[in-house]
Chain A
Amino acid sequence: MTAGVTSKVIGSAGELLAHAYQMELEAQERYGYLADQMEMHNNADLAKLFRELARVEGIHAGDILEQMQGMQVPQINPLDYKWSGSESPEALDMGDMHYMMTPRQALLLALKAEQNAFEFFDHLLKSTDDEDTRRFAAEFAEEEQEHVELVLKELKKHPESDERTREDMDPPIQQE
């Protein structure tokens, strides 16, 4: 059920761009949504982190949108994207969240997502002969690798030794 690499062939640069754009868009939306969730649960550190990640993905999405100008980009229905996983590779699984999650735990999930995104383009690069597609796949793979590095750098600021087990001092509240 996790995000994964493509198992189907992407046949054109336009199709690749459609996938890349959707991937960034979903990542941006997801981080933003997770930031909302953390705000709702008053985990300010994580809300800030997710908000920042959303911003970065948003810039990336914007860049891709620019590259799409003048290209033949197909419209793809939600169920027809060619990543093998349940969602686009770069979107964090909301099921992995916890309201007391630490920045380190979140960054480890983000790292996995960026690695998945890298793998998606890298796999494509290795499995297609189409020149245009290869060009874009290489470019995006490189960018995702940069994101991986960024997350790794950020992770260094939150070493495991700093991790403190967080504990909720209050019982759960009954609402209805």
Chain B
Amino acid sequence: MNIQQSPNFKASDYKSGLTPVWCPGCGDFHVLLSVTKALAELGTPPENVAVISGIGCSSRIPAYTNCYGFHGVHGRSLALGAGLKVARPDLTVMVMSGDGDGFSIGGNHFLHACRRNVDMTYIVMDNRVYGMTKGQPSPTTEPDWDSALSPGGTGLSPFHPLVIALASGANFVAREFSGDIKGSTRTIVEAVRHPGFSFVEILSPCVTFRPDERQWKTQTHAASVEATDDPARAARRIMTDDGFNVGVLYRGRRKPYETHVSDLAGDPAILEEEFAV
């Protein structure tokens, strides 16, 4: 066999040997596949990638990769990721979360991560339900979705992640459907390459508590408009969105958060001068 150019990495190189605990049919399997394919496409060695998460079904993902991972506490993955990226700018940092973890308990961090614009990628697997705790409504759940905790539905307006990301200053905003492996892979690659904070919402069905979401496979469709770098245009589009447009909405040009960490450390003795009387 004469392979003209040997690829550095295959998608399977980014997968660990652990079998996920996710229910068969769960969209998160697709997301894991898309992420590993995207990393293969990017060609970043697995040891130079960190996958950071919080709590929930989606947040189990780091251990299923062969990258460095951190499965932290509920809602704080973006803070873990930002600290890591600022301290280690050489790493590719991907923060992965779910709609409960990312938008409810972690909602404030989401706003400020968008603002701060640290160069990392934030993927939220949105299934509009808390799965790990047996099916409670999340911030993206429809108001009339019935559950034991909120009988008859919450009656609350769902949270609109893309609108909020855009309004908060995220530098790259996209939505994908988990089952569209190619589209998701392509968008994740672009999100990682895009400077600053990139946000990708991936609609990822929960087949156990939201079997109706299997329909997303036919409901999602490619957005009919091209991505824009004009936040005003992006905002107008997203406000009339049906929730099932997939693709890149916005590519911003904001300067990423900058620090200048260096191992060529100055001698702390220089800090003592100010104290001498």
**A touches B (Cβ under 8 A):** yes
Give the docked Cα–Cα distance between A104 and B94 (Å): 39
Interchain CA distance A40-B25 in the complex, whole Å: 13
Q: Known contacts A1-B180, A72-B2, A94-B30; decide if A174 and B21 are in contact (CB<8 Å).
A: no
Interface contact B20-A95, CB-CB below 8 Å:
no
0/1 string, B1-42, CB within 8 A of A gives 1: 111111100011000000111111101011001000100110
Q: How many residues from A make CB contacts under 8 Å with B?
A: 39
State whether A41 touches B133 (Cβ < 8 A).
no
Given contacts A29-B12, A79-B185, contact A174 B178 (CB under 8 A): no
Asked if residues A69 and B1 are in contact (CB atoms below 8 Å), the reply is: yes
Q: Are A176 and B55 in contact (CB under 8 A)?
A: yes
The reply to whether A172 and B134 contact each other, CB–CB distance below 8 Å, is yes
Contact B185 A78 (CB under 8 A): yes
Q: Which residue of A lies closest to B184 (CB)?
A: A86
Stretch at the interface among A31-39, A53-61, A115-123, A154-162: A31-39
Interface residues on chain B, number (Cβ under 8 Å): 46
Q: Which residues of B contact A73 (CB under 8 A)?
A: 1-4
**Separation of A65 and B178 alpha carbons in the complex (Å):** 31
Looking at the complex, which one of A71, A77, A101, A174 makes contact with B41 (CB distance below 8 Å)? A77
Q: What is the chain A residue whose CB lies nearest that of B209? A: A172
Chain B residues near A70: list those with CB within 8 A: 1-2
Residue A98 at the chain B interface, CB threshold 8 Å? yes
| A22-58, CB < 8 A from B | 29, 33-34, 36-41
Taking A29-B12, A78-B185, A86-B181 as contacts, is the C-beta distance between A41 and B4 under 8 angstroms? no
Main SS at interface, chain A: loop
Distance of A46 from chain B, by nearest CB (Å): 9
CB-CB contacts of B101-136 with A at 8 A, as 1s and 0s?
000000000000000000000000000000011110
Given A176-B55, A176-B56, answer yes or no on A37-B20 (Cβ-Cβ < 8 Å): yes
**Which B residues, 124 to 179, have Cβ-Cβ distances below 8 Å to chain A?**
132-135, 177-179
Smallest CB–CB gap between B238 and chain A, Å? Answer: 22
Chain A residues, CB < 8 A from B181: 86-87
Residues of A within 8 A of B55 (CB): 176
A97→B20 CA distance, assembly (Å): 14
Q: Who on chain A is nearest to B2 by CB?
A: A72
Q: Which of A82-107 contact B (CB under 8 A)?
A: 85-87, 93-99, 101
- In this assembly, does B217 line the interface, its C-beta being within 8 Å of a C-beta of chain A? yes
CA gap between A38 and B23 in the complex, in Å: 9
Cα A75 to Cα B10 in complex, Å, equals 11
Contact assessment for B19 and A40 in the assembled complex, using a CB-CB cutoff below 8 Å = yes
CB distance from B153 to the nearest CB of A (A): 20
CB-based contact A75/B4 at 8 Å? yes
Q: Are A175 and B132 in contact (CB under 8 A)?
A: yes
> In the assembled complex, which residues on chain B have CB atoms less than 8 Å from the CB atom of A71?
1-2
Check if B207 sits within 8 Å of A78, measured CB to CB: no
| In the complex, B214 has a CB within 8 A of chain A | yes
Q: Which residue of B lies closest to A173 (CB)?
A: B134
16 contacts between A and B (CB under 8 A): A1-B179, A37-B22, A39-B19, A40-B21, A68-B1, A69-B1, A71-B1, A74-B5, A75-B7, A77-B41, A79-B41, A94-B25, A98-B25, A99-B24, A171-B134, A175-B132
Query: Besides A97-B24, A99-B25, 5 other CB < 8 A contacts?
Result: A33-B29, A37-B20, A38-B24, A77-B41, A174-B133
What 9 pairs across the A-B complex have the smallest Cβ distances? A97-B24, A176-B132, A97-B25, A36-B19, A75-B5, A86-B181, A86-B182, A94-B29, A174-B134
Question: Which residue numbers of B lie inside 8 Å of A, CB to CB?
Answer: 1-7, 11-12, 19-25, 27, 29-30, 33, 37, 40-41, 55-56, 132-135, 177-183, 185-186, 189, 205, 207-209, 214, 217, 220
- Contact surface of A with B, Cβ cutoff 8 Å: 1, 29, 33-34, 36-41, 65, 68-75, 77-79, 85-87, 93-99, 101, 171-176
